Amino acid sequence: MVRAQEGEHKPCRNAGLFAFLDMTFYIYILYSENFDKYYIGHADDPWRRVEEHNHGKNHKFTTGYRPWEIAAVFGIGKDRGTALKTEKWVKK
């Protein structure tokens, strides 16, 4: 076994291919103060998603109520299916 010297660490070329194995999914609640509206969604990175909701073009509901701010974030776990089920339950 060869050990890297301190400062010699190089990330694995294929590390990005397996990044999904360590994902945590979240339920996030956004709030638009200008319109007094809430939006609930799920994502592996809710901070990226709020930027997409505020600046993206393909968000049918959220586009009309910008700007959005994060009101709450809840860690759900490693399974997107559980996050989606939880999102639907919260929306009821």
Residues of the chain with pLDDT below 50 are 1-6, 9, 11-12, 14-15, 18
**Residue 14 located in a structural domain:** no
Domain hosting residue 70, numbered range: 19-91
- Confidence at residue 72, expressed as pLDDT on a 0 to 100 scale: 97
**Residue 25 located in a structural domain:** yes
- Confidence at residue 1, expressed as pLDDT on a 0 to 100 scale: 39
How many degrees, rounded to 5, is the angle at CA 39 between CA 34 and CA 41?
Answer: 150
- Confidence at residue 8, expressed as pLDDT on a 0 to 100 scale: 52
**Residue 3 located in a structural domain:** no
**Residue 4 located in a structural domain:** no
**Residue 31 located in a structural domain:** yes
- Confidence at residue 12, expressed as pLDDT on a 0 to 100 scale: 46
- Confidence at residue 25, expressed as pLDDT on a 0 to 100 scale: 96
Residues whose CB is less than 8 angstroms from the CB of residue 47 and which lie 6 or more positions away in sequence, other chains included: 70
Number of domains in the chain: 1
Question: pTM for the complete prediction?
Answer: 0.74
**Residue 42 located in a structural domain:** yes
